Amino acid sequence: MSFRVAIVGRPNVGKSTLFNRLVGRRLAIVAETPGVTRDRREGEGRIGPLRFHVTDTAGLEEATADSLGARMMDQTQRALSEADVALLVVDGRAGITAADEHFAAVLRRAETPVILVVNKCEGPAASSGIAESYGLGLGEPVTLSAEHNEGINALYEVLADFEARLGEAAWQDEDASGASAPATAVDDRKLRLAIVGRPNVGKSTLVNRLVGDERVITGPEAGITRDSVAVEWSFKGRAIELVDTAGLRRRSRVHENLEKLSSEDTLASLGRAAVVVLLFDATEPPAKQDLGIGNRLAEEGRAPVIVLNKWDLVESPQGVMQDMIGRLEDSLPQLRGVPLVTCSALTGRGCDKLMPAVLDIYAKWNTRVSTAALNRWLQDATESHPPPLAAGRRVKLRYITQVKARPPTFAAFVSRPTALPDSYHRYLVNSLRARFDLGGIPIRLFLRKGKNPYVKN
């Protein structure tokens, strides 16, 4: 069976390092700066044969009402309420602090079982911290070093024992009711949807609006989201992994190491996504940075949807829309026909148009065209606009086939590929886009020298 584990503790005790160790890759940003993690970060953890769902949380801190810290604490409390067991992480080298004692007392009163983990125990400096940890009243601690992968086996034994006891309780509940819990179907067609844009355009607000819950932290402060947060969601029965990302700024304005890590994390999420929502603030003219993100989407081959947020605040909708269409045609011709959605994430107005646009562009992104249909198109395209002459001889396009989807990628066999000008290559791509209804997605067309490989000599 699978169970849910929440990793909690004060800032800078190594929660995100432990989270990355358990999921087997760097999903959460790790830095020396306290309080890097602000939202819940979720993943599938494993230690040997043990499988579980694990959540990284913001550092436990006392905070005033309505502050960013209070919103972070709310997300941590939500993670605790959903978890089957919590790992309270303390720093063995620093020893037990007043904050550790305070939150240990809070967790002792909570319904969620707690396992005490003393981290950073890779040397003798942690011995006093280990001894002090018994005073928290949470039983014998698990001592480990997440950074150096030491002591993970001890954590495995404790979690495996917990899973066994949890399984026994589930069987008892089943026997008492006379019915088993319905099995959860695994949908291997999960659509990974990332939302990107400049800081403070409303990415996190849009995520919360779509899932119908305050799943990620929002507020007037720019740059609240620091690392990409994946949220499991379902839209009309379709499994969606919705990824909220940190705001992207021009490289020249990124100076702090933490901000560089956030930008790298966002770009990595963009590269892993199937569909990317590029979010604009409709009350401001598109910046060069926005269009640069669009170019990055085309280079990565992602399926894009452009969303103009804060549409309820726009005074001249028609003028703004015409200006946006003109800018896209001039700056992003490789994404001609990209879906353009207007909405207000704050009020919800127009947000119902987003997911139909996402599913439509996703279907185009997965398009496969038969070889016969492609070669009929090639004949029509070259007859209506013949290839140019090169050294007095006509360049011949002999054959075309699709080599892959996601995005649609084609290979055309040409007598002299290097002699075909870029303008004619663009003509072929645009003609492909029009014939097979591939508007709005990147198209790859590679020119290969050679004869039709399916014609026998």
Q: Are residues 203 and 300 in the same domain?
A: yes
Please state the φ and ψ torsions of residue 80, each to the nearest 5 degrees: -65, -40
Residues 80/8, Cβ–Cβ less than 8 Å:
yes
Residues 259/60, Cβ–Cβ less than 8 Å:
no
Q: Are residues 378 and 423 in the same domain?
A: yes
The domain total for the chain is 3
CATH code at 45? 3.40.50.300
pLDDT of 77 higher than 80: no
d(CA 324, CA 311): 13
Domain end marker among 364, 385, 420: 364
As a whole number, the mean pLDDT across the chain is 81
Q: Range with the lowest mean pLDDT among 165-169, 288-292, 325-329, 442-446?
A: 165-169
Q: Are residues 381 and 318 in the same domain?
A: no
Looking at the DSSP bridge assignments, the partners of residue 326 are none
Q: Are residues 128 and 219 in the same domain?
A: no
Residues 54/22, Cβ–Cβ less than 8 Å:
yes
Q: What are the pLDDT digits (tens) for 202-222?
A: 888 999 999 998 877 665 554
Q: Are residues 98 and 238 in the same domain?
A: no
Half-sphere exposure (Cβ direction) of 37: Cα atoms closer than 13 Å: 32
Please state the φ and ψ torsions of residue 241, each to the nearest 5 degrees: -105, 105
Q: Which residues neighbour 335 within 8 Å (Cβ) at sequence distance 6 or greater?
A: 294, 297, 298, 304, 328, 440, 441, 442
Q: What are the pLDDT digits (tens) for 98-156?
A: 889 988 888 888 888 899 999 999 988 888 899 999 999 888 899 999 999 899 988 98
pLDDT of 91 higher than 80: yes
Residue numbers of the domain that contains 108: 4-177
Domain end marker among 339, 364, 389: 364
Q: What are the pLDDT digits (tens) for 240-260?
A: 988 888 766 555 444 455 455
CATH code at 393? 3.30.300.20
Give the pLDDT of residue 400.
93
User: Is 394 inside any structural domain?
Assistant: yes
d(CA 351, CA 194): 16
Q: Are residues 149 and 231 in the same domain?
A: no
Q: With a threshold of 0.85, does the pTM exceed it? A: no
